[in-house]
Amino acid sequence: GQNIDQPTEMTATEGAIVQINCTYQTSGFNGLFWYQQHAGEAPTFLSYNVLDGLEEKGRFSSFLSRSKGYSYLLLKELQMKDSASYLCAVLDSNYQLIWGAGTKLIIKP
Amino acid sequence: GAVVSQHPSWVICKSGTSVKIECRSLDFQATTMFWYRQFPKQSLMLMATSNEGSKATYEQGVEKDKFLINHASLTLSTLTVTSAHPEDSSFYICSAREAGGETGELFFGEGSRLTVL
C-alpha cells in the first residue's frame, strides 16, 4: 500500500531551527509537496521537490532523496506565526496526491 | 498565483436540509478538482476527485448519493451535502489543479465550515 509517515507533533523555540521529516512509500513518484495549515484554515503551498537536493525559499528549505524515499522541511529563525500543521504529500504515478497525516509544530517563546 | 474561491465560508443548517458548496478557479481552468473533509484536529481526508464533464470518483467509505459532486465547467465544481446530519459537521475544502500545469501543484480554496444543528 501507499504510505506517508511524518511525526505527529514537534515543539521548538522561537528563533531556533526545526526539521520536519517525511518518509514515503508510493506507487511511483511525480514530486513531493509541503503545505502549511493553520488551525481552521485551508492549506497553503510551501514547496515542491521532484529532483534530489535542497530547495531554499527564504526561511524555509525542503530536501528530497528519491532513493531513500525521504524528504524534510527545514524552518529557520522560527517565529510564533510558524505554529501550524505541516503536511507532506506525494504525487504518485497516477498523479494522485497521497497525504501524510501532518505534523503539528508548536513554537514556544 | 492561481486563486481558488470557495463559497460559502460558513454555513449553519438544520438537520435534514441540503447544503451546496461552490468551488471556483478564478484565473485558470481546472480539469480536476478535489474535495476534502477535515474534522477537528485531524488531517485532510480526500472525499472525491471531480473531473470536468464526467462523474466524480469517490474514495472508499464516502457515500456518493449523500455527497453529490458536479463539475459542469472548467472553473466550477459544486459539492452538495444532502439531508445533512450533525455528524456531517466539518470543514470542507476544495482544491484545483491547473489544466496543463507544469508541476501538478494544487491550489486550495479557503474552506467551508459546515455546522448542522
- 3-state secondary structure (DSSP) of residue A51: coil
* CA atoms of A48 and A34, how far apart (whole Å): 7
Cβ partners under 8 Å of residue B55, min gap 6: none
Q: Quick one: pLDDT at residue A103?
A: 95
pLDDT per residue, tens digit, chain B (117 aa), is: 678 999 998 999 999 999 999 999 998 888 889 999 988 767 778 899 988 888 899 998 999 999 999 988 889 999 999 999 999 999 999 998 877 765 567 788 888 999 999
Q: Cβ-count burial of B61 within 10 angstroms (0-12 exposed, 13-18 middle, 19+ buried)?
A: exposed
Give A12-30 pLDDT, tens digit per residue: 999 999 999 999 999 899 8
SS3 content of chain B, % helix, strand, coil (to 5): 5, 55, 45
- 3-state secondary structure (DSSP) of residue A82: helix
Q: Quick one: pLDDT at residue B15?
A: 95
* CA atoms of B17 and B61, how far apart (whole Å): 22
- Among the partner-chain residues B49, B105, B111, the one whose CB lies closest to the CB of A41 is B111
Identity at B82, one-letter amino acid code: T
pLDDT beneath 70: ranges in chain A: 95
| Interchain CB distance below 8 Å, B44 and A40 | no
- Among the partner-chain residues B49, B91, B104, the one whose CB lies closest to the CB of A31 is B104
Take residue A7 and report the three cell numbers written for it. Answer: 511525526
| Interchain CB distance below 8 Å, A45 and B93 | no
* CA atoms of B98 and B33, how far apart (whole Å): 9
* CA atoms of B47 and A98, how far apart (whole Å): 13
Following CA atoms B61, B67, B70, B76 in sequence, which dihedral angle do they give, to the nearest 10 degrees?
A: -100
